[in-house]
Amino acid sequence: MYKRMDVLLEGPDDERFFDAVIRAILEKQYDYVQTWLYAGEKTERTKNYLRSIRAMGADSLFLKDINRSPCVTAIKKATEKRYKKVVDPATVTIVIPEIESWYLAGLDDGSCKTLGLSKLPHTDDITKEHFEKMMPAKAVRIDFMIEILKKFSVETAMRKNKSFAYLMKKLRGRFEKA
């Protein structure tokens, strides 16, 4: 039976991370994996996309940064409200606080040193602004992110970031049921 997964991502940094770290995991279980970048789209267009996913019977995953929201519940409710019950709340996974924290979570101490970063015991509080302050002075953001992904370890990231670990457990649980 043909299985499709649609993954909604905020923007290009999220897509770069997804393609390097998560896509291969999903492609082991799905015949087709499609991404959709929703941050630059009008809400109605994303709602239509979500409706089409539902109509096809495809699985979906909706990743959203918590940013400055007070809690996961609040950001999930705001997402549901924005997409007027078109999004299935069970498919929404919140990145805490932002995707940059997931990038850094996958670096062990040796990789941090190689990239000119301090050791990072956990990344649950790393924001985009923290990430940019931590970058070596002459680093170009996108190039630096690509270098991080070359050294990325899923197991290390699961130990260092709770929201990344939650997603990996959620995906593994979904696969075990299949």
Q: Could you report the per-residue pLDDT of 141-155, keeping only the tens digit for each? A: 999 999 999 999 999
Residue 173 lies in a domain: no
Whether 110 and 80 map to the same domain: the answer is no
Token code pair at residue 27: 């492609």
Regarding pTM above 0.85, the answer is yes
Q: How many domains does the chain have?
A: 2
Give the range of the structural domain holding residue 3, as residue numbers without chain letter: 1-95
Q: Could you report the per-residue pLDDT of 104-135, keeping only the tens digit for each? A: 999 999 999 999 999 999 999 999 999 999 99
Residue at a domain's end among 46, 63, 95: 95
Beta strands 59-65 and 32-37 are unpaired
Residue 80 lies in a domain: yes
Whether 85 and 134 map to the same domain: the answer is no
The domain spanning residue 2 has which CATH number? 3.40.50
Whether 132 and 115 map to the same domain: the answer is yes
Q: Evaluate whether 135 touches 141 at the Cβ level (below 8 Å).
A: yes
